[in-house]
Amino acid sequence: MAVKEQTEKLRIDKWLWHARFYKTRSLASKACQSGHIVLNGQSVSKASVSVVAGDRLQFFQGPHLRVVEVVALGERRGPAPEAQALYVDHSPPRMPKKEVASDIRTAPVAEREAGAGRPTKAERRALDRLRGDGDVG
């Protein structure tokens, strides 16, 4: 198994890709840049942030929260058993798929009455204000 020395550090996007949490390095990089990754309690805004052994990461994979502790830094993106040796998973237990699906189905959805047509400019602005999107002025 190819594992780097414990004193070294590795870019967070590279480590997430090596540990097989993201299919491509660019997806891992985008997750970092959009603030979806939390490193030791601090939100990460750059993919160039370094991780070392002992760091704790939090992020969502779909509807599931992942909490992992970095144990080692890999030299390459290897097979799954090699990737699993890079971290210890402290994630909370996952909800069954049926429960997750029912939560998604029962979530309130904004619906428009049938036959109401396209919203007018005033209605669109009201919706934007409600959502907090766009210019309000």
pLDDT value of position 92: 86
pLDDT value of position 98: 72
pLDDT value of position 95: 72
Hey, where are the domains in the chain?
10-98
- Read off the pLDDT band of 127 (50, 70, 90): confident
The 10s digit of each residue's pLDDT in 76-115 is: 999 999 999 999 999 888 877 777 667 666 767 667 788 8
Fold entry, domain 10-98: 3.10.290
The answer to whether residues 55 and 70 touch, using CB atoms and an 8 Å cutoff, is yes
For the full predicted model, state whether its pTM sits above 0.85.
no
pLDDT value of position 134: 61
Query: What is the C-alpha to C-alpha distance for residues 122 and 18, in angstroms, rounded to an integer?
Result: 49
The H or E element containing residue 65 is strand 64-70
pLDDT value of position 64: 85
Residue type, 49: V
- The position carrying tokens 């540990």 is 19
The 10s digit of each residue's pLDDT in 35-74 is: 999 999 999 999 999 999 999 999 998 888 999 999 999 8
C-alpha distance across the termini of the chain, in Å: 59
The answer to whether residues 18 and 74 touch, using CB atoms and an 8 Å cutoff, is yes
The answer to whether residues 51 and 68 touch, using CB atoms and an 8 Å cutoff, is no
- Read off the pLDDT band of 131 (50, 70, 90): confident
Look at residue 15 and tell me whether its pLDDT is greater than 70. Answer: yes
- Read off the pLDDT band of 1 (50, 70, 90): low
pLDDT value of position 46: 92
